[in-house]
Amino acid sequence: MNDTTPHMGTLAVWAGENEPASGAGTQVPIVRSVAFGYRDVAEWEAVGRGQVAGDIYSRNTNPTVRAFEQKIQCLEGAEAATSFASGMAAISNTLFTFLAPGERVVSIQDTYGGTNKVFLEFLPRQTVEVEICPTEDAAVEAAVAKGCQVLYLETPTNPTLKVLDLPRLLKAGQRVGAVTVVDNTFATPINQRPLELGADLVVHSATKYLGGHADALGGAVCGKKDLVSRVYHYREITGAALDPTAAYLLLRGMKTLHLRVERQSASALTIAQHLSTHPAIAQVHYPGLGSDPGYPVAKRQMRGFGGIVSFELVGGANAMRHFLPRLRYAHRAANLGSVETVAGPPATTSHVELTPEERVTAGIPEGLIRYSVGIEDPRDLMADLDQALAP
């Protein structure tokens, strides 16, 4: 960034917020209209053909949704962005845009459960060849070297927070001409910008940190203009468009993204350090711990280590049933990235779509807790964890 390029905190507040007309409201309005009217037929046609800026029908474009797209585009440093009704809509539409029968995709074992389901169930039905590697750089590199049309990565992973070396793997993808896609939901652009590290596309569940208040579903795809417009073209037809009211809530949430994520990342590190010495904890997964296998790469490619800490309870499933109900400052829910702390067992939440056998392969024991640190005072969260962990 040069001196005049705004920093992330400024972009989070101002990107996508166009100067209102004199006397108009300062906030992006929620435009709920399904269609946009034109008295002049020639103008209507010119907008429809994309020769003049404007909106025709909200499944395709909508002013509130466009403001959300502009904000995430700026935060990710992308040429273009498009949006979706949810993170899974963004991910599945992206994969189906770039993969035709007979083609090949390489990904990792530790993707989000829904994404994993697309790889294991839906793409094979379209006779797409899917190679799911162990979540290790060398394994991914070897699979990519055999050739593929798409390389799909997620780092840090959900829920065990493994870290992949993005510059190394994205270079491997480029060498074979693959479209490279990174799910940046956990890190957010505040902590990691995959496009700067060589990715073609970034996908988001905006439902999580971008919105930050657990009150709106949404998804986004950002990156190279020609690729984003192919994804957009596919979305026009699948109809998985973002609702304008959700776009408004996501936009409002994103204005504080930098503040929330910086606080959550700092608190998560403190909590991970605290838990790593606790006798009731068998293992802590957090890439910001010096002892974590992901630490050296995370330190190179991330600005902060994120707000999620996962830990395995010594007592397994029974300990999990004892611990979770006792937490005072956590929603027990299948979500993450909100201002409130959220805790849950991935085996029955994010990875419930997997069969028990698939969960074993993915390394998700029943006593694993995914703890999404909120913006509360970390001292209160640590005291809460201690009382809930007490026998």
Ligand X SMILES: Cc1ncc(COP(=O)(O)O)c(C=O)c1O
Active-site residue numbers? Answer: 59, 112, 183, 208
Per rule CB under 6 A, is residue 112 in the interface with ligand X? yes
Residue from the set 217, 242, 247, 254 that interacts with ligand X by CB under 6 A: 217
Residues numbered 280-319 forming contacts with ligand X, rule: CB under 6 A: none
CB pairs under 8 A, 24+ apart, for 287-293? 287/156, 287/161, 287/163, 292/161, 293/162, 293/163
Would you count residue 88 as binding ligand X (CB under 6 A)? yes
Question: According to CB under 6 A, which one of 93, 160, 350, 372 is a site residue for ligand X?
Answer: 350
Nearest CB to ligand X, comparing residues 110 and 262: 110
Contact 220, 74 (CB under 8 A): no
**Considering the complex, what minimum distance in angstroms separates the CB of residue 91 from ligand X?**
6
8 alpha carbon, distance to own chain's centre:
17
When binding is defined by CB under 6 A, the residue of 58, 92, 109, 205 that contacts ligand X is: 205
Asked if 153 and 183 count as a contact pair (C-beta separation under 8 A), the reply is yes
Nearer to ligand X, 58 or 86 (CB): 86
- Residue 62 touching ligand X (CB under 6 A): no
- Considering only 70-78, 85-93, 352-360, 372-380, which stretch makes contact with ligand X by CB under 6 A? 85-93
Q: Does 86 bind ligand X (CB under 6 A)?
A: yes
Instruction: Output 347 or 389, the one with its CB closest to ligand X.
Output: 347
Residue 131 vs 353, nearer CB to ligand X? 353
* Site membership for ligand X, residue 250 (CB under 6 A): no
Count of positions on this chain that bind ligand X (CB under 6 A): 15
Measured from the CB of residue 204, what is the shortest distance to ligand X in angstroms? 8
**Smallest separation, CB 291 to ligand X (Å):** 24
The answer to whether 87 contacts ligand X (rule: CB under 6 A) is yes
Q: Does 189 bind ligand X (CB under 6 A)?
A: no
Indicate the Cα dihedral angle 9, 331, 346, 203, nearest 10°. -30
Q: Which residues bind ligand X (CB under 6 A)?
A: 86-88, 112, 114, 154, 158, 183, 185-186, 205, 207, 217, 219, 350
